[in-house]
């Protein structure tokens, strides 16, 4: 019954949903990008509310900074194209998309609330008890970084290492794909040789 | 139980609320993924989808696994994958843009069978 | 000598080898030389002839057959094998086939020399030789069936050799279809026989359907099934020989088969392949022997065929058609003898008939060749002066087939004696009548062709030596093989030779049968003389046309081939074609309609599905999330309710 906690949740959730809708529906792609930053920061706020300080910081560093920069790079590199007309596709699939997402929402809502009954209870079917105050307090004073680090280097060390390989492969793949074709690279030099 | 009590009870934040928030976000992501005409917006929608999933993971970690918080570890993994995906998405977008100078998904119909 | 017997398969495989050499050599343009083809063919057949003579000599002092088998197919408890059997029957057939086909190959070289399909002809000839010799050497019924079909195929190819002629193509098709009817029955018969005797074969772990164990297996089947079913099996097997040997209901293909080159008519449709039916009857004789009804049916089929074909042959104007019906009639004789129980006599007649009928056909071929493809006897006559060698060999053949002292006399006498011994008096009378008619129509062809005045327009030219040589060589066995093998002049008797079983046949040495048959034949010859030689015709004041007018209904009945062809065509026109048209309409509108409806439905569905395949990735994502939504609904409902 923590009023302030509830107020914070609803405020952040409201901002998050509005920002996410903005990503989809704002007419200019740059506005969408800014809206996306807002959404990512709101998600970080949600993570803070969920006692996940490390994840919240990582969220801001990776999403709100890294991925946003990637997106803005994409916008800049393709910027010549007129943006106004590229808003929403008026195709049959748009109608379907509204239907599908609405129906999906209803279905999941029905599921997570156990047929709308669980909204009346304190918690969902997954956990009937709130986290104990002591643990929350230790988490809030010590942070989750230690626990996550311990987990990453003991239990999840193999996925962690594989993840590093994945990132390496992604970097290489991105370089290979984004680089210009070899012909385009060679042609200037051959031109140079021809000029000589 | 008066009606106000019921409403208060409904609005008292629990795991369910986080899950519903994740679902709303996921639905918005689907919507953006499908209806956008701009390829960059499609990439953004995918990031929003991943964020929705992350919220679910962290919420479950908080409410049912507070001692180990394995959900948060998975959230970290997902973020790493999302970063890789964003980088690759940009690379694909660029090579696509080089072949056909457009970001309009309506014009990318070479897969038509 | 054992070497030849153990490797008897070589006789059959050599023509196959030559067949492959010629077919590949010709189609790949390795050589163009006709001599090469001829020598290869003749060498292979000559080797076969030498081997066959050694094998024949071997069989003189061996009564148990030599059998060699290799496993071929093993499926469940059915074991099929492929192999060779060498016994007296096979040795005799080998001898006949190789010797006749050797001479005919030499003859064909001259006959087909101007033809553009010379090499193709020899390819088919070798294929036929391979299949015929394989048929003779087969050690079991299944293998026999395979070679039976191969023989049918090569016959089809050779009848339709001049396939640009519509009549030849039609005749080939007719022969093939007629033979298919018989083959179908044969196959069903073999399978039924195997079905009922499978227990016997498995328990005895013998080569399945092998001829050596056929008597015991037939006994087993006879004991384990009811007599009616057994008769049905036997008659189904008999249907194969009916078609192949041109017996009564299925005989119409043989006269049409004369569309093929004349050497083919001599080799396949007179001497060897049509005799294969009789050979098969001899091979599966143990099966027929047990069923009295089947034997009766066989005998009567043969008798009807003999009588019918003889009456038709009397009025034929085409020399080859006349000879074809005569072949039909003689085959009827053999089948009748087989059915009446005169097993050895039938085979004896097969052997003598093979030689003299081959020679007669070759003579007719020489005549046709000499008159530039004129086959109608109306435009012949007086040819004895132009081609004496052909005329005299033809005369020998006529004497032989008519049963006047030469080989036909002895084999027919055996048949008559056999019929008498088995108390088939009606059959004997029919056979006597047919013998008289045979003499009549054969001498009719002889007189029309070689005596009197020449009535044609082309200048007849004499046959070359390559053509006359085989005729003269064939004339020797045609003349003498009868009394050499009749067992009356201190020489080995064919009768005791071919009878492998110990049962001794005692001949009533009465002079009645020979004298009566000789008299009947002479009567036929005399009648032919009176009617077809102008000198005697004037002497008796007979006008041939008036005579024909007097017996017009009978003459028409005969000239129209007993209306059998017309009946078949009417049957096809009024029953088979409407039924098949109905079937076709049913297939087209109902079966196809259902299929098309299904296809239309699929098309409709695919039209809907194709809308989704529009190349836009987001549409695919829509479908993907639609599926996700659906699954979410399903699991939510399943889980919560």
C602 located within any domain: yes
Segment among B28-32, C49-53, C61-65, C166-170 with least mean pLDDT: C61-65
- For residue C185, give both structure tokens: 């029955």
C474 located within any domain: no
Q: Which of C24, C50, C52 is nearest to C36 (CA)?
A: C24
Chain A residues with CB-CB distance to B92 below 8 A? 177
Contact status, residue C303 vs residue C231, Cβ threshold 8 Å? no
pLDDT, position C236: 92
The yes-or-no verdict on residue C81 having pLDDT over 80 is yes
Q: Does the interface predicted TM-score (ipTM) exceed 0.95?
A: no
Q: Which of B15, C535, B45, C23 is nearest to A97 (CA)?
A: B45
Does B7 touch chain A if contact means CB atoms closer than 8 Å? no
The reply to whether residue C618 touches residue A108, judged by beta carbons under 8 angstroms, is no
Q: How far is CA A52 from the centre of its chain?
A: 16
The reply to whether residue C622 touches residue A97, judged by beta carbons under 8 angstroms, is yes
pLDDT, position C45: 92
The yes-or-no verdict on residue B48 having pLDDT over 90 is yes
Helix or strand (DSSP H, E) at C68: strand C66-75
Confidence class for position A190, pLDDT limits 50, 70, 90: very low
The reply to whether residue B19 touches residue A124, judged by beta carbons under 8 angstroms, is yes
Does A100 touch chain C if contact means CB atoms closer than 8 Å? yes
The yes-or-no verdict on residue C335 having pLDDT over 60 is yes
**Could you give the percent of chain C with pLDDT greater than 90?**
20
Q: What's the pLDDT tens digit per position in A39-49?
A: 999 999 999 99
pLDDT average, residue stretch B38-60 = 92
Number of Cβ within a 10 Å radius of residue C556: 12
Q: Which residues, other chains included, contact C192 with Cβ-Cβ below 8 Å and sequence gap of 6+?
A: C232, C233, C236
pLDDT, position A123: 46
The yes-or-no verdict on residue B53 having pLDDT over 90 is yes
The yes-or-no verdict on residue A126 having pLDDT over 60 is no
Q: Which residues, other chains included, contact A10 with Cβ-Cβ below 8 Å and sequence gap of 6+?
A: B11, B13
Q: What's the pLDDT tens digit per position in A62-76?
A: 998 999 998 888 888
CATH number for the region B3-101 comes to 1.10.287.3510
pLDDT, position A90: 85
The yes-or-no verdict on residue B28 having pLDDT over 90 is yes
The yes-or-no verdict on residue A163 having pLDDT over 60 is yes
Q: What's the pLDDT tens digit per position in C307-331?
A: 999 988 888 888 888 999 999 999 9
The reply to whether residue B63 touches residue A180, judged by beta carbons under 8 angstroms, is no
Mutate to test the interface with B, among C607, C612, C618 (most CBs of B within 10 A): C618
pLDDT average, residue stretch A148-177 = 90
The reply to whether residue B105 touches residue C618, judged by beta carbons under 8 angstroms, is yes
The yes-or-no verdict on residue C528 having pLDDT over 90 is no
C20 located within any domain: no
Pairing label, strands C78-86, C66-75: antiparallel
The reply to whether residue B34 touches residue C618, judged by beta carbons under 8 angstroms, is yes
- For chain A, the first-to-last Cα distance in angstroms comes to 81
The yes-or-no verdict on residue C499 having pLDDT over 70 is no
The reply to whether residue A174 touches residue B55, judged by beta carbons under 8 angstroms, is no
SS3 state at A196:
coil
Confidence class for position C72, pLDDT limits 50, 70, 90: confident
The yes-or-no verdict on residue C103 having pLDDT over 80 is yes
SS3 state at C86:
strand
pLDDT, position A119: 56
Segment among A52-66, A111-125, C247-261, C388-402 with least mean pLDDT: A111-125
Segment among B95-99, C392-396, C496-500, C579-583 with least mean pLDDT: C496-500
pLDDT, position A18: 95
The yes-or-no verdict on residue C196 having pLDDT over 70 is yes
Task: Report the neighbours of B using a cutoff of 3 or more CB pairs below 8 angstroms.
Answer: A, C
- Which of A89, A107, A115 comes nearest C629 by C-beta? A107
pLDDT, position C604: 93
Contact status, residue C141 vs residue C284, Cβ threshold 8 Å? yes
C277 located within any domain: no
Q: Which residues, other chains included, contact C375 with Cβ-Cβ below 8 Å and sequence gap of 6+?
A: C318, C319, C320, C368
Closest CA–CA distance from residue A192 to any residue of chain B (Å): 24
The yes-or-no verdict on residue A187 having pLDDT over 50 is no
The yes-or-no verdict on residue A124 having pLDDT over 60 is no
Segment among A12-16, A189-193, C181-185, C361-365 with least mean pLDDT: A189-193
C68 located within any domain: no
The reply to whether residue A89 touches residue B106, judged by beta carbons under 8 angstroms, is yes
Confidence class for position A121, pLDDT limits 50, 70, 90: low
Domain ranges of chain B: 3-101
> CB-hemisphere CA count at 13 Å for C144?
26
Q: What are the φ and ψ backbone dihedral angles of A81, each rounded to 5 degrees? A: -70, 140
Chain A residues with CB-CB distance to B61 below 8 A? 50, 52
Domain count, chain C: 1
Number of Cβ within a 10 Å radius of residue C569: 12
Chain C residues with CB-CB distance to A114 below 8 A? 640
State how far the Cα of C541 lies from the Cα of C635, in Å rounded to an integer. Answer: 112
Segment among A83-97, B64-78, C132-146, C431-445 with least mean pLDDT: A83-97
Q: Which domain holds residue C634?
A: 585-640
Confidence class for position A21, pLDDT limits 50, 70, 90: very high
Q: What's the pLDDT tens digit per position in A139-161?
A: 778 888 888 988 899 989 999 99
C631 located within any domain: yes
Using DSSP, how many helices (H) and how many strands (E) does chain C show?
Answer: 29, 2
Does A151 touch chain C if contact means CB atoms closer than 8 Å? no
Nearest CA in chain A to C638: A111
Q: What's the pLDDT tens digit per position in C16-26?
A: 999 998 888 87
Q: What's the pLDDT tens digit per position in C418-428?
A: 888 888 888 88
C23 located within any domain: no
């Amino acid at each position: 019954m923590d009023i302030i906690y509830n107020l914070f949740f609803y405020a952040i959730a409201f901002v998050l949903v509005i920002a996410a809708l903005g990503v989809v529906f704002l007419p200019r792609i740059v506005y969408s990008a800014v809206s996306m930053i807002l959404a990512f920061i709101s998600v970080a706020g949600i993570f803070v509310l969920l006692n996940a300080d490390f994840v919240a910081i990582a969220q801001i560093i990776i999403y709100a900074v890294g991925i946003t920069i990637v997106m803005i790079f994409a916008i800049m590199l393709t910027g010549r194209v007129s943006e106004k007309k590229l808003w929403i596709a008026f195709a049959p699939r748009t109608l379907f998309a509204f239907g599908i997402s609405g129906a999906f929402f209803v279905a999941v809502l029905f599921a997570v609330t156990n047929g709308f009954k669980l909204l009346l209870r304190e918690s969902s079917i997954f956990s009937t008890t709130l986290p104990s105050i002591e643990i929350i307090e230790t988490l809030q004073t010590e942070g989750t970084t230690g626990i996550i680090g311990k987990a990453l280097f003991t239990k999840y060390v193999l996925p962690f290492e594989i993840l590093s390989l994945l990132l390496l492969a992604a970097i290489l793949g991105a370089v290979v794909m984004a680089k210009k074709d070899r012909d385009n690279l060679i042609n200037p030099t051959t031109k140079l040789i021809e000029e000589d | 139980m008066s009606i106000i009590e019921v409403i208060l009870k409904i609005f008292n934040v629990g795991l369910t609320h986080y899950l519903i928030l994740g679902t709303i976000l996921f639905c918005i992501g689907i919507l953006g993924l499908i209806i956008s005409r701009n390829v960059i917006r499609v990439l953004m929608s995918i990031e929003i989808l991943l964020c929705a999933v992350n919220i679910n993971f962290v919420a479950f970690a908080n409410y049912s696994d507070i001692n180990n918080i394995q959900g948060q570890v998975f959230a970290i993994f997902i973020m790493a994958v999302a970063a890789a995906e964003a980088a690759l998405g940009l690379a694909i977008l660029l090579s696509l843009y080089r072949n056909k100078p457009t970001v309009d998904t309506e014009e990318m119909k070479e897969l038509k069978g | 000598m054992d070497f030849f017997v153990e490797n008897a398969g070589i006789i059959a495989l050599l023509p196959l080898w030559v067949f492959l050499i010629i077919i590949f050599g010709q189609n790949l343009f390795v050589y163009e030389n006709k001599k090469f083809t001829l020598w290869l063919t003749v060498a292979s057949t000559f080797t076969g002839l030498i081997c066959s003579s050694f094998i024949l000599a071997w069989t003189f002092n061996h009564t148990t057959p030599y059998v060699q088998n290799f496993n071929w197919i093993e499926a469940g408890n059915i074991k099929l094998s492929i192999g060779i059997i060498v016994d007296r029957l096979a040795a005799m057939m080998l001898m006949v086939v190789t010797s006749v086909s050797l001479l005919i190959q030499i003859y064909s070289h001259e006959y087909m020399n101007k033809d553009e399909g010379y090499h193709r002809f020899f390819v088919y000839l070798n294929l036929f030789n391979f299949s015929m010799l394989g048929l003779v050497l087969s050690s079991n019924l299944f293998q026999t069936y395979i070679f039976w079909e191969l023989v049918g195929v090569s016959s089809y190819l050779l009848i339709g050799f001049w396939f640009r002629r519509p009549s030849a193509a039609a005749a080939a098709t007719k022969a093939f279809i007629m033979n298919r009817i018989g083959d179908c029955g044969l196959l069903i018969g073999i399978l039924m026989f195997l079905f009922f005797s499978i227990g016997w074969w498995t328990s005895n772990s013998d080569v399945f359907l092998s001829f050596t164990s056929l008597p015991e297996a037939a006994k087993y089947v006879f004991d384990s099934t009811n007599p009616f079913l057994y008769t049905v099996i036997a008659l189904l097997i008999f249907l194969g020989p009916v078609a192949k040997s041109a017996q009564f209901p299925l005989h119409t293909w043989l006269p049409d088969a004369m569309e093929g080159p004349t050497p083919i008519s001599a080799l396949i449709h007179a001497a060897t392949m049509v005799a294969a039916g009789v050979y098969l009857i001899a091979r599966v004789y143990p099966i027929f022997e047990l069923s009295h009804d089947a034997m009766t049916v066989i005998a009567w089929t043969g008798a009807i065929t003999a009588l019918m074909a003889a009456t038709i042959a009397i009025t034929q104007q085409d020399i080859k058609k006349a000879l074809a019906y005569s072949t039909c009639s003689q085959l009827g004789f053999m089948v009748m003898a087989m059915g009446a129980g005169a097993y050895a006599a039938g085979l004896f007649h097969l052997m003598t008939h093979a030689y003299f009928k081959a020679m007669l056909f070759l003579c007719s071929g020489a005549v046709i060749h000499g008159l530039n493809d004129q086959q109608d006897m109306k435009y012949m006559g007086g040819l004895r002066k132009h081609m004496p060698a052909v005329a005299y060999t033809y005369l020998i053949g006529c004497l032989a087939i008519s049963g006047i002292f030469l080989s036909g006399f002895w084999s027919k006498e055996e048949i008559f004696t056999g019929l008498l011994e088995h108390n088939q008096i009606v059959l004997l009378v029919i056979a006597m009548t047919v013998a008289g008619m045979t003499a009549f129509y054969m001498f009719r062809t002889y007189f029309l062709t070689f005596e009197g005045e020449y009535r044609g327009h082309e200048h007849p030219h004499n046959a070359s030596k390559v053509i006359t040589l085989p005729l003269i060589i064939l004339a020797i066995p045609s003349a003498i093989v009868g009394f050499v093998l009749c067992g009356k002049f201190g020489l080995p008797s064919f009768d005791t030779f071919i009878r492998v079983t110990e049962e001794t046949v005692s001949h009533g040495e009465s002079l009645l049968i020979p004298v009566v048959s000789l008299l009947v034949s002479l009567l036929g010859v005399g009648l032919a003389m009176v009617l077809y030689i102008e000198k005697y015709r004037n002497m008796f004041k007979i006008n041939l046309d008036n005579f024909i007018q007097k017996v017009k209904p009978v003459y028409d009945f005969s000239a129209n081939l007993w209306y059998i062809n017309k009946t078949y065509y009417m049957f096809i026109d009024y029953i088979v074609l409407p039924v098949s048209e109905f079937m076709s309409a049913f297939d087209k509108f109902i079966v196809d309609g259902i299929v098309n409806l299904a296809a239309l439905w699929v098309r409709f569905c695919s039209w809907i599905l194709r809308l989704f395949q529009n190349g836009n990735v987001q549409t695919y994502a829509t479908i993907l999330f639609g599926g996700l939504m659906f699954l979410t609904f399903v699991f939510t409902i399943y889980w919560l309710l």
